[in-house]
Structure 1
Amino acid sequence: MTIDIRADDLSDPATQALAAVHLAGMHAGSPAESVHALDLDGLRDPSVTPWSAWIRGEIAGIGALKELDARRGELKSFRTAETHLGRGVARALLRHVIAAAADRGMTSLWLETGSDEAFLPARRLYASEGFVECGPFEGYAADPLSTFMSRTV
């Protein structure tokens, strides 16, 4: 199985739909003040580069890199389509974004994810790729529903 990862301009309805599922899922599981997911306008910001993953022509996942500054990036909007869970899509996207950050000369990556049981698979994935827990960064506030992680690139 080949996972095709490409930069995405968010014009494809399939990509838009998966981004909407991601945002709705974040709002369904957390109070509004604890949701830090980007909507389509946020993903289209010039500081954000979104990617999509495709398997046999079907959307399999999305992920984005937000440039915090020339040396630091933040992972945003990582989501695997339900039909593609367990196929390595999230890991492939994560490795792709880490490589893109390195190509851009970034030296560190940061992320905010949920701290409850539903986000355990995500936290395990990030940890397995070298991310470690840290404190809030770049305007985030401490929140019992958030876990902050970072890694060097």
Structure 2
Amino acid sequence: MEIRIGSLTHPAVIALLDQHHQDMLLHSPEESVHALDLSALAQEDITFWCAWKDDALAGCGALKELDNAHGEIKSMRTSPDFLRQGMAKLLLEYMIREASSRGYQKLSLETGTMAAFLPAQKLYQQLGFQVCPPFADYQEDPYSTFMTKTIS
């Protein structure tokens, strides 16, 4: 598997991000969906990566700089053909290392509260994330779980 800066114009990437957004809308009302669209992922404060196995897109994820000591994980998604094969864990570990190399002291994320989000919550907990209050511009929301991890 190769992780590289994601091409937001690649058809497979566009399709996976569209699927991600549509799936979020199945489980949360629109005002509670915080998935980023293509233009938001192209902003300078966000680095977007894709994991590729041969020529197949295995997954994606992004790291948003909140400030020089705090980053946020965004747009984590595994391609359907690669579910339960450890791709999300590899991508998340990669982004944690990147956050650490940037000097971030904290890494946070928002994920859903519905049953469909339990596998993601378990993965985040496995890698040291703990439930926390809302951060950045987020507000309390029954459809959101906020998590954070101190990194060195």
Tell me whether the two structures share a fold, i.e. TM-score over 0.5.
Answer: yes
> What value does the CA root-mean-square deviation take over the aligned residues?
0.8
Residue 78 of structure 1 is matched in structure 2 by: 76
Provide Cα deviations, 1:15-70, integer angstroms capped at 9, x if missing partner. 11111111111122210111001000111111110000111210010000000011
Contact 1:9/1:44 (<8 A) preserved: no
**Where does 1:107-126 land on structure 2 (aligned, <5 Å)?**
107-126=105-124
Do structure 1's residue 95 and structure 2's residue 112 form an aligned pair?
A: no
Does the alignment pair 1:45 with 2:67? no
Q: What is the alpha-carbon distance in structure 2 between the residues aligned to residue 50 and residue 30 of structure 1?
A: 24
Gaps of 5+ in 1: none
**1:41 and 1:141 mapped to 2: Cα distance?**
23
Q: TM-score normalised to the size of structure 2? A: 0.97
User: How far apart, in 2, do the equivalents of 1:41 and 1:76 lie?
Assistant: 14
- Number of residue pairs the alignment of both structures matches: 151
* Kept in 1: contact 2:60–2:76 (CA 8 A): yes
Partner amino acid for 1:119? F
8 Å Cα contact 1:15/1:59 also seen in 2: yes
Identity fraction in percent: 48
Q: Deviations over 1:86-105 (max 9, x none)?
A: 11100000000001101111
TM-score normalised by L of structure 1: 0.96
Q: In the alignment, is the contact (CA less than 8 A) between 2:7 and 2:13 conserved in 1?
A: no
Cα distance in 2 for residues equivalent to 1:39 and 1:25: 13
Counterpart amino acid of residue 90 in structure 2? A
Counterpart amino acid of 2:148? S
Q: 1:66 aligns with which of 64, 67, 74?
A: 64
Which of these residues, 98, 101, 105, is aligned with residue 103 of structure 2?
Answer: 105
1:60 and 1:84 in contact (8 A); partners too: yes
Q: For the residues of structure 2 that align with 1:28 and 1:121, how far apart are their CA atoms?
A: 16
Q: What is the letter of the counterpart of residue 135 of structure 1?
A: P
Q: CA deviation at 1:132?
A: 0.2
Spell out, residue by residue over 1:92-137, the C-alpha distance to the aligned partner (whole angstroms, 9 max, x if none). 0000000110111111000000011110000000000000000001
CA distance in 2, matches of 1:71, 1:14: 33
